[in-house]
Structure 1
Amino acid sequence: MNLIFTGGGTGGHLVIALSLAETARSRGHTVMFIGSTSGQDRQWFANSTLFDEVHFLETTGVVNKSGFGKLAALWKVFKALLKSRSLIRSFHADAVVSVGGFSAAPASMAAVVSGTPLYIHEQNAVTGKLNRLLRPYARAFFSSYEEGDNHCDYPVNPRYFENARIRSEVKTVIFLGGSQGAKFINDLALEIAPWLHDKGIHIIHQCGLKEEDRVRAAYHEFGIEAEVYGFTTQIAELCERSDFAVSRSGASTLWELCAAKIPAFFIPFPYAAADHQYHNARYIIDHNAGWCERQSEGIILKLQEAIQSDIRAKSEALGKLIASNGAAHIIEKIEKDI
């Protein structure tokens, strides 16, 4: 098959495109990526050898614009739609697979108007506006939060499953603020660090490049030998050594922690679209497999209670929420459908 993957803007969407495309390529399919000149798409795939073709079209987000800015953004989407329709035809695409984000709009809509089967993967518990608009026209809709025919296991790097283990006590805590870091989580980590140190708990802290110097200096002043990373591609290896996580609840990070069976104290980013990070975390909480608290000044005591609680039960519960080979199952469903 000739498969086009589209979407992105942020790493959370792009890691899904990467996982699905790698799986499709390993099964002998030809793959193309259509993304945007905005966002992180080019950083991820401009020099990629994975795809047979990559195309970055001039688009920007629409929902965060107003007035003439929105009209200009829509005009760019329309022009990119026409280009995407041409690419679909020249590639003889059997299907277009959208992973969401504003980058997905042109190629996804082009698939609908050209009669090419469209498949959508929704990474969050709250369906994004674009995916809500296009869902009625899609051949299939994949979600890790819905039950029934639409349910799929989240595509997660196999390393998280390979290194998974049941945690029964906290010897190491990892703080995860995402690739850009999160000042609230950084400040929280520094506030609780002396308490963790007194209890002999090791600290791993991914703080973001902008905060790295400040965070390193603070630990040095405390006399605490924490592992600090501004940015790293070795999160899977760091997670393997961790017993408890304090993290934002973007979908990819949430499901990676789930696959590794690491109990997590989630602090959703309060300004995420449609508050989707909170609803992502609620899925884990509703299955009694973690903790979720809004950003607040009284959060330290709740975090201390969680770290000292029975984490084994949470770790065991996480292992029941996700299975490996999520990407393979999605590609298999597309193969059977085409």
Structure 2
Amino acid sequence: MGWKLSKHFVLAAGGTGGHMVPAAALAEELTKRGHRVALVSDARGVRFPGLFDDIQTHVIPAGRFQVRKPLGWPGAIREMWRGRAMARQLYRTFKPAAVIGFGGYPALPALLAAFVNHIPTAVHEQNAVLGRVNRLVAGRVDAIATSYDRTARLAAKYEGKTHLVGNPVREAVLALRTRPYPLLEEDGIFRVLVTGGSQGASILSRVVPDGLAMLPVTFRRRLQVTHQARIEDIDAVRAKYAEHQIPAELATYLPDMPAQLAWAHLVIARAGASTIAELTVAGRPAILVPLPSATDDHQTANAREITQAGGARTIPQGDFTAKELAKQMQRLGLDPAALENAAGRAKSVGRPNAVSDLADLVESLDAPVARLPVGVSRPKQAFA
């Protein structure tokens, strides 16, 4: 490998796991390539467990514009401009070669500061629907990186600067791609992972224990469950599993998610962007329950590709009952060959090169001549 010039990059992301996980993956990759990285986020983001321990972090204010609360807009605008001023101050000392936004309102002041300072910019969209902040800046950024062939709310006029890279996952998850699907014997332990994302999901806590209890007794006795639940739900969920005599480990946060995925035969989850990326890279079949209140119903869109490929079954939240879950579990779980086939179908739509392709794109942003990096492709159906 030839010598490369070390550069500085600023990554700007909202404080949720969906924004922070791909940002952390890119930070790790850029650091490996010899670059320096700084993170701009809100107070939640910089405290995210285990993601940015060795990265320079900065909290800057960012107003949140709530459509139904216009009286709060003037204050949000003031906070946004204050955040932009702080970001410009950071750029005077850190001197980034490019600023990359990952969505969420905390990314906006950093991007606005980059525009006024004439610093190259890109945004990465994790979901199958372009998010509000990314839509707001799409016309001004130099590149738009997408995670799906089809991204709704992305205007066709941006086709020339749109690049399909996928959604980066942590290296520990990427390592699972080379490992075989866990051996599942007809009378062996059936391991189920239940996760609602970084905040848990109350609907999963209410439905899953009772749904598993409705399985045939010979199947139910084989279950071993790991269930992530909200702190306010966890005692009730633990009691439910005990009542049904189903072995279950409960936690409010799963820091070892790659290890949990490694042994899981089936995942029951929301359809957040990072969850879908990890399922498809690792190759794990799933029952997905999209969050209906997600902006622009993006979780339903996220689930479409893996479901159409045969790697998951999607159940709308309104139809997610204990009876429906038990029915889908039996269809998937009673035939080990079918379950392993579903795992392979999930893996078939994974994009394991996402982080390296995104890093290639980012490195090219301040090049004299804009070009598409090797390995990065145009979306086949990017626009809707």
**Does TM, scored on the shorter chain, surpass 0.5?**
yes
Q: How does 1:32-181 map to 2 (within 5 A)?
A: 32-37=38-43, 40-44=44-48, 48-51=52-55, 53-63=56-66, 66-146=69-149, 150-164=163-177, 165-166=180-181, 171-181=190-200
Residue pair 1:84, 1:106 contacting (<8 A) in 2 also:
yes
Return the structure number with greater relative CO, CA threshold 8 A, min gap 6.
Answer: 2
Partners of 1:172 and 1:202 within 8 A in 2? yes
- Map of 1:241-280 to 2, 5 A cutoff? 241-280=263-302
On the 8 A contact 1:210/1:230 being kept in 2, the answer is no
Counterpart contact for 1:178–1:208, Cα < 8 Å: no
Contact 1:7–1:100 under 8 Å retained in 2: yes
Structure 2 residue 244 is matched with structure 1 residue 231: no
Alignment check: 8 A CA contact 1:179 1:208 kept: no
Q: Where does residue 30 of structure 1 map in the other structure?
A: 36
Contact in 1 for aligned 2:10/2:99 (Cα 8 Å): yes
Report the CA distance between 1:17 and its aligned residue.
1.5
CA contact (8 A) 1:211 1:230 kept: no
- The CA deviation at 1:255 is 1.1
1:41-77 Cα shifts (integer Å, max 9, x gaps) = 23128995422x3221122321356233121011110
Q: CA deviation at 1:166?
A: 3.5
Is contact 1:4–1:95 with CA below 8 Å preserved after alignment? yes
TM-score by length of 1: 0.91
| Partner AA of 1:218 in structure 2 | K
Q: Which amino acid aligns with 2:103?
A: G
Rounded Cα–Cα distance in structure 1 between residues aligned with 2:319 and 2:308: 24
Distance 1:26 1:279, change over 3 A: same
| Cα pair 2:214 2:322 within 8 Å, conserved | no
Counterpart of 2:357 in structure 1 is 329
Q: Given the superposition, is the C-alpha separation of residues 306 and 202 from structure 1 closer, same or farther in structure 2, using an over 3 Å criterion? A: same
Is the deviation greater in 41-50 or in 214-223? 41-50
Does 300-309 or 108-117 show the bigger shift? 300-309
**What is the distance in 2 between the residues matched to 1:12 and 1:320?**
22
The 3-state SS of whatever aligns with 2:247 is: coil
Q: Does 1:184 align with 2:203?
A: yes
- What secondary structure does 2:106 align onto? helix
Q: Secondary structure at the match of 2:235?
A: helix
Distance 1:298 1:48 in 2: 36
Residue type of the partner of 1:82? A
Q: Which amino acid aligns with 1:270?
A: P
Give 3-state SS (helix, strand or coil) of 2:255's partner. Answer: coil
Q: Is the 8 A contact 2:25 2:171 kept in 1?
A: no
Residue 193 in structure 1 maps to residue 212 in structure 2? yes
Secondary structure, in 3 states, of the residue corresponding to 1:184? Answer: helix
Letter in 1 for 2:354: G
Q: Does 1:313 align with 2:341?
A: yes
Query: What displacement does 1:177 show?
Result: 1.5
| Matched letter for residue 63 of structure 2 | T
Counterpart amino acid of residue 97 in structure 2? D
Asked if 2 retains the 8 angstrom alpha-carbon contact of 1:7 and 1:103, the reply is yes
CA contact (8 A) 1:112 1:137 kept: yes
SS of match in other structure, 2:64? coil
Report the CA distance shift for 1:238/1:48 in structure 2 as closer, same or farther (over 3 A): closer
Secondary structure of the residue aligned to 2:209 is helix
Unmatched runs of 5 consecutive residues or more in structure 1: none
| Matched pairs, number | 335
Q: How does 1:285-296 map to 2 (within 5 A)?
A: 285-296=307-318
Deviation at 1:277, TM superposition (A): 1.0
Provide the residue aligned with 1:11 in structure 2.
17
The normalised TM-score by structure 2 is: 0.81
Superposed CA RMSD:
2.3
**Deviation, structure 1 residue 330:** 1.0
The alignment partner of 1:296 has SS state of helix
CA distance in 2, matches of 1:213, 1:299: 21
Gaps of 5+ in 2: 1-6, 151-158, 333-337, 367-384
- Identical aligned residues as a percent: 27
Change beyond 3 A, Cα 1:116–1:131: same
Conserved in 2, the CA contact under 8 Å of 1:7 and 1:98?
yes
Contact 2:289–2:316 (CA under 8 A) maintained in structure 1: yes
Return 117-126 or 254-263, whichever deviates more: 254-263
Take 1:211 and 1:14, find their aligned partners in 2: how far apart are those partners?
Answer: 25
How far did residue 329 of structure 1 move?
Answer: 1.8
**Shift, 1:303, TM fit:** 2.9
